Amino acid sequence: MLCGHTVTRCKRSIKEADSSVSIYSLSVLQVVGLEMKPIFPHRKRLVVLLIVGFALPVPLDPENTGFIAVENFTSLVEDHELQLDPSKLDMLLALVQSNEDGQVCYQELIELMSSKRSSSFRRAIANGRRTLQREILLDETGLGLYKRFVRYVAYEILPCETDRRWYFHQNRLCPPPVFIAIVTIVQIIVFMCYGIMLNKWVLQTYQPDFMKSPLVYHPGHRAQVWRFFSYMFMHVGLEQLGFNALLQLMIGVPLEMVHGILRISLLYMAGVLAGSLTVSITDMRAPVVGGSGGVYALCSAHLANVVMNWAGMRCPYKLLRMILALVCMSSEVGRAVWLRFSPPLPSSGPQPSFMAHLSGAVVGISMGLLILRSYEESLQKQCSWWVIVFSFITFLLFAIFWNIFAYELLGVQIPPPP
C-alpha cells in the first residue's frame, strides 16, 4: 500500500500533469507498491503507474528512450484491471499509428490520460488517424435521450471526429451550462417588469421612463461604470429580445456545453463590453440597450469556425442554415440602423446605437474564433491568444482615456441624461 505522504505527492503531480511533464523529472515518485484501487479512479491510477513506470518489476521503458512499447502498455492496463473509455482507446491507437515503431511517447500518454492535450499531442493524433479506419459517432446505437443530444451538440460545434468522440465520452452533466440560461432568464424578467410598468412591449425606448433605468448605458452617465455591462439586460422591445434570446439559446448553450462556462462567458462579456465602449467612441451621443454585443460575438465566432472548417463540419443543411443565420443577423442590424436614425420623439432623445452589433461581431471573429478552435487546448500557451488579449487591453485603455477626455475636448453636446 502506498504511504500517505507519497499518495499526496502523486495526487499533486497528477493535478499538475500537462504537456510540460517529463517522466524522468519525477524520480521522487519512485514507488514499488501498486495497491492503489481504494485511492485513485482508473484514469488517475494509470497516470500514477505511468509516472512511476520505471520502478515497476517489469520496466515500461528499460532503455530510457522516452517511449513505451504498446505491448508493455497493454500488459500494464490488463494487469491492474484499468478501464479506458472508447475515446481514449481510439486516440491511443492513433498515437501508436503516428510512430513507425509502434511505440508511444511517455509525455503523450500522460497528456492523453490526464486530458491535457497540447498542440504536439493533437498533431500526433491527426497523423495517426490518417492511417486508421474509424467508426463515426453517428454509428453509435442504443443511446439514451441525453446522450443523443450530446452527440447532436458534438456534430453542431466540433469539426473533427476525434474531438467529437472525445467530447461525447468525456461529457458530464456537472457543471451544467448555466451562464447563457441565467442571462436569458434575467433579460426576460427585466423586460417583463418594464413592459408592465410602461404598458408597452414594442419600441420601449420611445418612452422617457425607459431611459431613466439605471441599467441603460447613457453617455451622460458614463461615470457609472456598471452601465457599460448592465445595458445587456435592457432591450428595445419584444422584437430585439426575441431575436437575442433565441440566438443565444440556440448557439450559446451548445457552445457552453462544449467549451465550458469560463470561455463562453468571457467571450460573451467581452462582446458586451466592446459594444458599449465602441458606441462611446464612434456614436458619442447615443445610448445603448440590448445584449446584441454578446450575442453577435457568439454567433460570428461560431459561423467563422464553421466556414474555416467547412469540410469537417457534419451538421445537416449547413449551407442553408449559414445563409439563414446571416440573413437574420443582417436584418437585426438593419432594424437597429433604422431605429438609430429614425426621427426621435422630443421627449425620448436619441435612439440606441447599432455599433454594439458590429463590435460584437469583431470580437467573435477574433477572440471567439481562437477560443472555438482551441477545444481542450490551453489558450495561455498560444502566442495568438496573447496578441488578441494585448489588443483588447489596448482598446480598453484607449476607450477609458477617450471617455475621460474626448467628450470635453471635442465639445460634444450630450443630450441631458434622464
- The residue from 98, 213, 265, 292 that is catalytic is 292
The question of whether 22 is a catalytic residue gets the answer no
DSSP per residue over 39-62, as a string?
TS-HHHHHHHHHHTGGGSSS-SST
Cβ burial 100-118 (10 Å sphere, 16+ → b, else e): eeebbbbbbbbbbbbebbb
Contact, 236 vs 203, CB < 8 A?
A: yes
- The Cα 252–Cα 181 span in angstroms is 9
- The residue from 218, 235, 302, 357 that is catalytic is 357
The question of whether 357 is a catalytic residue gets the answer yes
Cβ-proximal residues to 300 (8 Å cutoff; 6+ apart), any chain: 360, 361, 362, 363, 364, 365, 368
Q: How far apart are the first and last CA of the chain?
A: 72
Which position has the grid cell 452617465?
221
Interhelix angle 161-170/119-129, nearest 10 degrees: 110
Name the residues annotated as catalytic. 292, 357
